[in-house]
Structure 1
Amino acid sequence: MDTKEILKRVKRIELKSKRKASNLFMGEYHSSFKGRGMIFSEVRPYQYGDDVRNIDWNKTARYSEPYVKVFEEERELTMYLLIDVSESGNFGTRKQIKMETIAEIAASLAFSATTYNDKVGLVLYTDQIEKFIPPKKGKQHVLRIVREIISFEPKSKKTDLAVTLEQFMKYARRKSNVFIISDFIDSSDYDKPLRVASKKHDITGLRIYDEKETAFPNIGLVNVQDQETGEIRLIDTSSAETRKMYAAYYHELDKRYHAIFKKNNAGSLSIRSDQDYVHPLLNYFKSHRF
C-alpha cells in the first residue's frame, strides 16, 4: 500500500471514528473509567449536603463559620490497545474485512480517550509483540496509531496471546485500561497470563468475527486454507455432519474466549465485522464500571 492510499484510509477512518466517538462514547467513556484517585481542588464555605468529614477545621476556627475541602477526580488515565495483526484478520465476506473493523474500533476508543486528555499506547501482536508504541496524548498521536494499524506488515502470520500478555506486562508498569481487539482464533493457553495481567490492569476483550466464520455454507467441495498456517484442506460442505462439526468447533471457540475472560474478571464482547459496533460498545460501557 503506497503512502497516498494509507493517508486516504487514515483520513476516512478518522472522520468516521471521530463522529461515532463524539456522538456516543464520550459520556460513557468518561463515566465508565475511573481516574487514579482524588486530588485537592479548593476550600469553600460549607453548603447543605456537604460531607462533614471534609470540614477544614483550621479555616472554620479562623472565620467562625464552617468551611470544607473540595476534592475532584484525578482524571488522567492510560489506555492500551492490543491489536491482533495476524493473518486471520485479513478475512471478510461482507462490506469489509475484520482488520478494517478493528482499525475503526481502535480509532474510536483512542479518540474518546484523547478527548479527556488520557494517554493511549499501542501494541501490535501476532505470536509475539511486533510493535510497541508508548502511551502519549493528542490527536496526532492517535492518527499515528491508526496509520500503524492499517499499514503495518507483520513478520508472523500466527497468533499467541499468551506470549503477548507475558511480554506486555514488562512494558506496562502502571495500571491501565487495556482493550485486546482480535478475532481470538487462538489455540494458545492464555488463561494464566490473562489472570496475571487482569490483577494489575482493567482488561476488555473485543472479539471481531465474520458472519461466514460461524458456519460453512452448503456449496459442495471446496479447498479451505488456514490463513495462519497456510494448510489447505478439501472440505465437503454439502455434508450436514461436516457443517455441524464446524459450527460446534466455532461455538466452542467463542465459548472458551468468554469463559476465560469472565473467569479472570475481564470484560468480553463479540462484534460482527459487518454490523454497527457503536451500540454493542455503548451498552457494554453502560453495564461496566472499571
Structure 2
Amino acid sequence: MQILPSQPGVRVNLAELIEMRHRVREVQLFSTPSRRSPLIGLHHSKLRGRGVDFDQVRVYQAGDDVRTIDWRVTARTQEPHTKLFHEERERPIYIMVEQSQRLFFGSGQVFKSVLAAQAAALIGWAALGHNDRIGGLVFGDVEQHEVKPRRSKQSLLQLLNRLARTNQALHSELQANREAFSLALRRAREVLRPGSLVIVLCDERALTDSTEQQLTLLAQRTDLLLLPLSDPLDHALPAAGLLSFSERGAELELDTHNSELRQAYRSLGEAREARWQRLAQKLGVPLLALSTQVEMVEQLRDYLNAQRPRKPQ
C-alpha cells in the first residue's frame, strides 16, 4: 500500500482524525441523561434486541403503544400500566465507511473521501464518550478492513488508523469496484448481532438495486443511520463549455453549454436523492445527506437542530 503525504482537504492523517474528538461537544449525536438526541427519537421504535433495556412500569397514558402494556401489573392493580424502556448503554456501534476511488473527488471544501473520514471519526469519538462499544468496517475497491466493536479507545484508534491509511492510499488510477458496497453490507449482516447501531457512510451513487436489498435486510436486525455523501458537481454541471474526461484510456467530451444535457444531468442527481429519501422512509431510519460544499460539523448541527422538538411556549 502506497502512503502519500497528507494534503488538507484531499487526504487525512491519523492525527487529524484523533483531533476530531475535540469537536464532539459541538453536536449532540447521542442522548445524555439531561439531553435526548433527536436522532434517537427518529427511530426509537425500531430499537430491538439488546438495543433497549427495561426501565420501569407506570400508569398507561393516552398515546402509549398498547404493545408495551404490562398485563400482569394491569391485572393486579386493575388499572392499565405500560412498560418503559431506555436505550441500552454499551450498545455495539458499527461504522461502515467507504474509501473508494469514486470518493476521491471534490469541488467543495474537501474531497468526499475526506468528508467520510471526518464524519466517521466524529461519530466514533461521540460513541466512545457515550460508553458504547465501537467498531466498524473500512471498505474500498480492493480491500475491507474490519475492527470488531469493543468499548475501548484502542479499538477506535485501530479503526481510525486503518481509515487514515486507506484514505492516504487513494488515487485516481484505482480500478473501481462497483460491488464493494454490497460486499461490505453482506459482511456486516454476517457479523453484527441484533440491536447493533450501524452508521453507513458511502457515496450517494452507491445505492443500487443490490445495495438497497442488502440495506433492507440489514435493517431487519439492526438500527441504521444513513449518511450518503455527495459533491455539488454530482448534482449540477457548470455551463463551462467543452469538458473532457478520461479514465484508463477512455475519453469523454461534454458540451456543458447544452441546456438539455445539464438538465438531464441535474435530473439524475435529483433521482438519486429521491431514492435515498424513499429508502429511509420505507425503513423508518434517519437520513443525513452530507455535502462537500459545507463544513461537516456545521451540517450535522443544523440537521439535528432542525429535528429537535421545540419546547412549548
Q: Within 5 A, what are the aligned runs for 1:118-197?
A: 118-126=132-140, 130-152=144-166, 153=169, 157-160=176-179, 161-186=181-206, 188-189=208-209, 190-197=211-218
Q: Is the 8 A contact 2:99 2:140 kept in 1?
A: yes
Alignment partner of 1:85 out of 94, 99, 102: 99
Q: Describe the superposition over 1:193-233 as per-residue Cα deviations: whole angstroms up to 9, x where unpaired.
A: 2221111111011012112221111121121246xx88531
Q: Describe the superposition over 1:219-251 as per-residue Cα deviations: whole angstroms up to 9, x where unpaired.
A: 21121246xx88531111121111111111111
Q: Is the 8 A contact 2:135 2:155 kept in 1?
A: no
Which moved further from structure 2: 196-205 or 156-165?
A: 156-165
Tell me how many residue pairs correspond in the alignment.
262
Alignment partner of 2:17 out of 13, 16, 20: 13
Scaled by the length of structure 1, the TM-score of the pair is 0.76
1:208 aligns with 2:235: no
SS in 2 for 1:103: helix
Alignment partner of 2:27 out of 1, 16, 24: 24
Distance in 2 separating the partners of 1:81 and 1:179: 5
Q: Is the 8 A contact 1:82 1:123 kept in 2?
A: yes
Structure 1, unaligned stretches of length 5 or more? Answer: 42-49, 54-70
Distance 1:266 1:97, change over 3 A: same
Distance 1:204 1:27, change over 3 A: closer
In the alignment, residue 20 of structure 1 is paired with which amino acid? R
Distance 1:126 1:259, change over 3 A: farther
Distance in 1 separating the partners of 2:150 and 2:241: 51
Q: Is the 8 A contact 2:136 2:147 kept in 1?
A: yes
Which structure has the bigger radius of gyration? 1
Distance in 2 separating the partners of 1:106 and 1:125: 13
What does residue 297 of structure 2 align with? 278
Alignment partner of 1:100 out of 95, 114, 126: 114
Scaled by the length of structure 2, the TM-score of the pair is 0.71
Query: CA shift at 1:126, angstroms?
Result: 4.0
Query: CA shift at 1:105, angstroms?
Result: 0.6
1:223 aligns with 2:223: no
Which moved further from structure 2: 130-139 or 196-205?
A: 130-139
SS in 2 for 1:92: coil
Query: CA shift at 1:127, angstroms?
Result: 6.2
Query: CA shift at 1:191, angstroms?
Result: 2.5
Q: Is the 8 A contact 2:108 2:293 kept in 1?
A: yes
Distance in 1 separating the partners of 2:143 and 2:232: 28
Distance 1:205 1:259, change over 3 A: same
What does residue 254 of structure 1 align with? 273
Query: CA shift at 1:3, angstroms?
Result: 8.7
Q: Cα RMSD (Å) of the superposition?
A: 3.5
Structure 2, unaligned stretches of length 5 or more? Answer: 45-49, 61-84
SS in 2 for 1:121: strand
Q: Is the 8 A contact 1:214 1:250 kept in 2?
A: yes
